[in-house]
Structure 1
Amino acid sequence: MSVHQQATAPTYGTDTRIVTMGRVIFYEDRNFQGRSYECSGDCSDMFSYLSRCHSCRVESGCWMVYDRPNYMGNQYFMRRGEYADYMSMWGYNNCIRSCRMIPMHRGSYRMRVYERENFMGQMMEMSDDCDSFMDRYQWSNGCMSCHVFDGHWLMYEHPHYRGRMWYFGPGEYRSFRDWGGMRFMSMRRIMDSWY
Structure 2
Amino acid sequence: YTGNYRMKIFERSDFGGQAMELNEDCPDLRQRFHNGDVSSANVMEGYWILHEHPNYTGRQFFLRPGEYRSPTMGSLRRVTDNN
Tell me if the contact between 1:115 and 1:139 (Cα under 8 Å) persists in the aligned partners.
Answer: no
> 1:40-55, aligned counterparts within 5 Å?
none
Matched to 1:139, the amino acid is N
2-structure distance, mates of 1:135, 1:117: 19
1-structure distance, mates of 2:69, 2:36: 19
Q: CA RMSD in A?
A: 1.3
Structure scoring higher RCO (CA < 8 A, sep ≥ 6) equals 2
2-structure distance, mates of 1:134, 1:172: 20
Specify the SS of the correspondent of 2:62: strand
CA deviation vs aligned residue, 1:10-61 (integer Å, no higher than 9, x gap): xxxxxxxxxxxxxxxxxxxxxxxxxxxxxxxxxxxxxxxxxxxxxxxxxxxx
Q: In the alignment, does 2:79 pair up with 1:190?
A: yes
CA deviation vs aligned residue, 1:40-84 (integer Å, no higher than 9, x gap): xxxxxxxxxxxxxxxxxxxxxxxxxxxxxxxxxxxxxxxxxxxxx
Matched to 1:188, the amino acid is R
**TM-score, scaled relative to structure 1:** 0.40
1-structure distance, mates of 2:11, 2:79: 22
Compute the displacement of 1:140 (Å).
Answer: 3.8
CA deviation vs aligned residue, 1:151-193 (integer Å, no higher than 9, x gap): 11011111100111111001111333xxxxxx21111101122
> 1:34-73, aligned counterparts within 5 Å?
none
**2:47 corresponds to which of 139, 152, 155:** 152
Specify the SS of the correspondent of 1:114: strand
Tell me if the contact between 1:110 and 1:151 (Cα under 8 Å) persists in the aligned partners.
Answer: yes
Show the counterpart of 1:167.
62
**Residue-pair matches, total:** 83
2-structure distance, mates of 1:171, 1:106: 18
The gaps in structure 1 that reach 5 residues or longer are 1-104, 177-182
Specify the SS of the correspondent of 1:139: coil
> 1:13-52, aligned counterparts within 5 Å?
none
Matched to 1:136, the amino acid is R
Q: Give the stretch that moved more between structures: 117-126 or 132-141.
A: 132-141
Which protein shows a greater Rg?
A: 1
Q: Write out the 4+ residue segments of structure 1 that deviate beyond 3 Å after TM superposition.
A: none
2-structure distance, mates of 1:140, 1:119: 14
1-structure distance, mates of 2:66, 2:33: 23
Matched to 2:65, the amino acid is P
Q: Percent identity?
A: 41
